[in-house]
Structure 1
Amino acid sequence: MLVWGISALSHDASLAVVSDGEVVFAGHSERYSRIKNDPLLHSDLIAEALSHGRPQAISWYERPYLKKLRHATAGQWKDALTKEDAPRRYLRSLGLPFRLPAVSFAKHHESHAMAGVATSGFSDAAVIVADAIGEFDTFTISKYTARDGLDVLFRRRYPHSLGLLYSAFTRRCGFRPNEDEYITMGMAAFGSPRYTDQLKAEWIAIGEPGFRLRANVHRGIGDWLPEALPEDLAASVQAVTEEVLLGAARWARRETGSRNLVLMGGVALNCVANSRICATGDFDHVWIFPNPGDAGSSLGAIAATTRQPVKWSGPYLGTEIQRTLDPREIVEELKANGVLAVANGRAEFGPRALGNRSILADPRTRRMKDRVNEVKGREKFRPFAPVIREERAADFFEMPIPATPYMQFTARCKEPGKFPAIVHTDGTSRVQTVTREQHPLLYRVLNEWELETGCPMLLNTSLNSRGEPLVNSWEHALAFGRREGIKVL
């Protein structure tokens, strides 16, 4: 049976295809339309999904009428009253070349949770989902077992939302909410959490396992503390977020009895908080699906509605660029110019570039960090990630867990002076580990790079310019190379 999973009409639309229980395709609409966070399904994304066959069923990532009720509760009357965003009506408007099959609907947090559970390999787990807002749930803690499925033990509902609070502070710091939260997280390392107590006194009450907001922050917090430095505000909201998540994880461990933890929702992209949870030692295994936000819920919706196991072999699920790459050529280009772009293989499903749509660079000089930031049009304070072979990672980083293949955790660098381009101001790095099985080409490049230079790692960042989605095609990659003056292989 072939099933489509769809996340659309909100932000970062995506489509996943599962055939007889195996994920055969998953892609982001923005990569095709070139519109960042595009909420609509692009025709080329649909065409690529159709190359795997016509769907016999469709799974939608949330309950539309429950969401409209929340819109009404929030005073979003335009959204509540419009009929154009009804999923079946929307799908019919796309002119699909087949009769619309049955459409099943999962709850928003159920889709998040099941995207994590279905790809974890766990037979039991504590599951924490934290995001901004979908329908009403914003923060849930569940117990999962293969026999009984998902059982929600605790929930917070709109307007009490940790994700909305973080987004409100992202706006207050001068960035775009629902898009630049990762910049706020990076900026936090430059500040001091001097406003944590004041933040808790005015905005959030924390008590294990959760929290309550003291006011609705859906439309922001205005010019709160106008004299405060943005980096101190960022550090303060980051500290509060970590406190909430650590308390939730402790409670989840006690209440579920499981030594496995699944973290999902947009807040699960907070790699600093994720690392602190790992450091507690409460869990033997922590799993975060490489696409934990709403886009990943296209896959989660299938797992939630079909109630069947999903075979998932890794994040390389999108458009394929078929080119023959020679690791020696990559190493020689890096030795000669210090930086290049790689566009090859199937696109990553998720926000991180993991070697198939990447800019790679020599991490041994501070100048290289500035150069890559200039290429991407980014703020100079923003950190970059290192990629290193898994067996070498512990030699250079204090790893929270042995393997971090999807850039979801931070680790303290043991020799920061040697690799200034990939070390943040707090001495940490968002490490990507690689095995030969996960990515044979990248593994071989790293091996030959170390043999040639003595350096065990490379800087790895996404192949895109500021404000653009990751490149999706060879034509996109060549355009990037011409524009930025970087060789593309």
Structure 2
Amino acid sequence: MITWGISALSHDAALAVVQDDRLLFAAHSERYSRAKNDALLHSELLSEARAFGPPDQVVWYERPLVKKLRHLRAGQWEHALARSDLPSRYLRSIGLRRNIPVAYASHHESHAWAGIATSGFDSAAVVVADAIGEFDCFSIFGYTARDGLRPRYRCRYPHSLGLLYSAFTRRCGFKPNEDEYILMGMAAFGEPRHVDDILDAWIRLDGPGYALRANVHRGIGDWLPDARPEDLAASIQEITERVMLRAAVWAREETGSPNLILMGGVALNCVSNAVVARDAGFSEVWIFPNPGDAGSSVGAVAAHLERPLHWPGPYLGTRIDRELDIAAVVRSLTTEGIAAVANGPAEFGPRALGNRSLLADPRPADMKDRVNRVKGRERFRPFAPMIREELLHRHFDVPVRHTPYMQFTALCRNPGEHPAVVHVDGSSRVQSVSRDQHPALHDLLTAWEDASGCPMLLNTSLNSRGEPLVNSWRDAERFGEREGVRVH
């Protein structure tokens, strides 16, 4: 039986194909349309999905009528009264046959199940934090293989940690619902001197969660107009870490499970994730590599089946049928310092994990500026190191056993040796690579160390500013021609 999981009509549309309980394919629509955060399913994405066979069942990632009630609650009359955004109409418009059944999963259960289905855990505490789904904005669940998913705590609209973080993203001059990761990077340049101001004005910590003192859905305006953006960023970052840590500790005590799953858009905050992993007392922490709404295309199917999926890893998208020429990549890195790689199936998630990556030598002091110029990014933005898993703890103080998906920050033990991948606070968002996970990438790192003596590479996404990750070989060629970088 072929089941499609779909997340669409909001932002970053995605489609997952599951046969029985095996995840075969999952991809973001933006990679095909080249329009960042595209909310609609692209025709080429649909064609790739249909290549696995026509769907017997479709599962939508949230409950549309409940969402419209929330639109009414929020005064979003245009959305509440619109009929064009009803999934049933939309699915017919993209050619889905009328006799194919459509099921709906709740927004936060889709998030939770995406984590559960791919974790391998028999039990877990699950914390879901995002901007907003239908009404839920922050949820804590308990999961066991015997009893399934059981809610333990929730905050409902307008009490949203994600919306508060987005409001500060806008206050600091960035685009909300898109540039939160830039705010996270900026926080290291500031001091959390406005934490008490934020607690007085915007949020009250309460039990395992919090309550907002005002609805911040439309932002916070020019609050504290004389404050430095860096200090505001550091302050809201610390608030986020406090909320997530309190929730995780409560969830451990409530469920008794040694395992934690973090999901929702807030789970992309790798600084907060590291605090939780270090201090909450769990033995294992799992975050699906695509914890936001796009990943709920997978979670919706698992929620419908109410059981885990066979998950082969994050390389689930469009395939570029080219072998990785390791010797050629190492030559480019040795002579030019930078090389682009585009081969194999695309990563499903917001971070490049070696199949659509721009790689660089992390040792030159000017390499961070060079790569930022290539990508057209702000100069203060950090880059991630990629290292073989067996060397991970030798070079980084990581709060988890391994970090294959860039989900946790860690202090670099010798920051002066690899300045291009160390942030101003001495931390790095590390990607560890095991031979089982990605043999070719592991071999590339080995060959690079043999040639250079350096155990790691800078790894960032293969895209220019404002663009989605490269999807096809033609996309990669255009990137190389535009930016003057050799693509392998």
- TM-score normalized by structure 2? 0.99
- Between the aligned partners of 1:416 and 1:325, the Cα distance in structure 2 is 30
The equivalences for 1:93-172 within 5 A come to 93-96=93-96, 98-172=97-171
Q: Deviations over 1:212-261 (max 9, x none)?
A: 00000000000001101100000000000000011001100100000000
- Distance in 1, matches of 2:396 and 2:324, equals 29
Preserved contact between residue 9 and residue 39 of structure 2 (Cα < 8 Å): yes
- CA positional deviation for 1:2: 0.6
Q: How many angstroms does 1:355 deviate by?
A: 0.2
Q: Distance in 1 between matches of 2:27 and 2:279?
A: 35
Kindly provide the amino acid, as one letter, of the partner of residue 161 in structure 1.
S
The letter for the 2-side match of 1:268 is A
Match of 1:432 in 2: 431
Query: How far does the alpha carbon of each residue in 1:265-323 deviate from its partner, in whole angstroms, 9 at most, with x for none?
Result: 00000100110111115100000000000000000000001223310010000000001
Cα 1:100/1:337, change in 2 over 3 Å: farther
Which amino acid in the other structure matches residue 80 of structure 2?
A
* Letter aligned with residue 3 of structure 1: T
Q: Secondary structure at the match of 1:189?
A: helix
Q: Is 1:321 aligned to 2:343, yes or no?
A: no
How many Å separate the matches in 2 of 1:325 and 1:165?
43
Structure 2 residue aligned with 1:399: 398
- Secondary structure of 1:366's partner? coil
Structure-1 residue corresponding to 2:414:
415
Paired residue for 2:193? 194
Question: Offset at 1:452?
Answer: 1.2
Residues of 2 paired with 1:302 and 1:137: CA distance?
A: 20
Q: Which moved more, 1:318-327 or 1:154-163?
A: 318-327
In structure 2, the residue matched to 1:69 is 69
Alignment of 1:83 with 2:87, yes or no, is: no
Aligned to 1:228, what secondary structure does the other structure show?
coil
Tell me which amino acid in the other structure corresponds to 1:413: C
- 1:369 corresponding residue in structure 2: 368
Counting only pairs closer than 5 Å after superposition, residues 212-291 of structure 1 correspond to structure 2 as 212-280=211-279, 282-291=281-290
Look up the match of 2:471. 472
Aligned to 1:173: 172
CA displacement 1:70-117 (0-9 Å, x = unmatched): 000000000000001110111101134x44410000000000000000
Note if contact 2:159-2:211 (Cα within 8 Å) is conserved in structure 1: yes
1:92–1:100: 8 Å Cα contact kept in structure 2? no
Gaps of 5+ in 2: none
SS in 2 for 1:212: strand
SS of residue matched to 2:189: coil
Which residue is equivalent to 2:458? 459
Counterpart of 1:16? 16
State how 1:345-360 maps to structure 2 within 5 Å. Answer: 345-360=344-359
The residue matched to 2:322 in structure 1 has which SS?
A: coil
Inter-CA distance 81–99: structure 2 relative to 1 (3 Å threshold): closer
- Alpha-carbon distance in structure 2 between the residues aligned to 1:244 and 1:415: 31
Equivalent AA in structure 2 for residue 373 of structure 1: N
- Deviations 1:133-187 (CA, angstroms, capped at 9, x unpaired): 0100000001001111111110000000000000000000000000000000000
Cα distance in structure 1, aligned partners of 2:170 and 2:215: 15
Partners of 1:110 and 1:50 in 2: CA distance: 26
Cα distance in 2 for residues equivalent to 1:437 and 1:141: 32
Q: Post-superposition shift, 1:325?
A: 2.3
- Given the alignment of the two structures, is residue 92 of structure 1 paired with residue 73 of structure 2, yes or no? no
Q: Which residue identity is paired with 2:445?
A: L
Measured in 2, the distance between the counterparts of 1:327 and 1:444 equals 8
Contact 2:249 2:280 survives alignment (8 Å): no
- Gaps (5+ residues) in structure 1? none
Given that 2:245 and 2:280 are in contact with CA atoms closer than 8 Å, whether structure 1 keeps it comes out as: no
Residue 482 of structure 1 pairs with residue 481 of structure 2: yes
CA distance in structure 2 between the partners assigned to 1:447 and 1:193 by the alignment = 40
C-alpha deviation, 1:402, in angstroms: 1.8
Cα 1:93–1:281 change in 2 (3 A) is: closer
Quote the offset at 1:365 in angstroms.
Answer: 1.2
2:140 aligned partner, one-letter code: I
How far off is 1:451 after superposition?
A: 1.1
Q: Does the aligned pair in 2 maintain the 1:390–1:435 contact within 8 Å?
A: yes
Match in the other structure for 1:182? 181
Rate the CA distance shift 1:266–1:281 in 2: closer, same or farther, 3 A: closer
Q: Give the letter for the 2:298 counterpart.
A: L
Checking the alignment, whether the CA contact within 8 Å between 1:208 and 1:244 is kept in structure 2 is: no
Structure 1 residues 48, 100: CA separation in 2 closer, same or farther (over 3 Å shift)?
A: farther
Q: What's 2:33 paired with?
A: 33
Find the aligned partners of 2:217 and 2:64 in 1 and give their Cα distance. 20
Give, in whole Å, the separation in 2 of the partners of 1:309 and 1:135.
24
Any idea what SS the aligned residue of 1:387 has? strand
**1 CA distance for matches of 2:136 and 2:292?**
14
SS of 1:295's partner is: coil
Q: How many residues align?
A: 488
CA–CA distance in structure 1, aligned partners of residues 310 and 209 of structure 2: 33
Over residues 168-208 of structure 1, what are the superposed CA-to-partner deviations in whole Å (9 max), with x where a residue is unaligned? 00000000000000000000000000000011000000123
Amino acid at match of 2:468: P
Say what the alpha-carbon RMSD is for the aligned residues. 0.7
SS in 1 for 2:294: helix
Matches of 1:117 and 1:126, distance apart in 2: 10
Contact 2:116/2:308 (8 A) holds in 1: no
Using the TM superposition, give the Cα deviation of residue 324 of structure 1 relative to its aligned residue in structure 2, in angstroms: 2.2
Give the distance between the partners of 1:391 and 1:469, measured in 2 at CA. Answer: 31
Counterparts of 1:95 and 1:266 in 2: how far apart (Å)?
30
CA contact (8 A) 2:248 2:280 kept: no
Relative distance call for 1:483 and 1:100 in structure 2 (3 A) is farther
Does the CA contact (< 8 Å) of 1:143 and 1:256 recur in 2? yes
SS in 2 for 1:144: strand
- Residue aligning to 1:207: 206
Give the letter for the 1:324 counterpart. E
* Matched residue type, 1:120: S
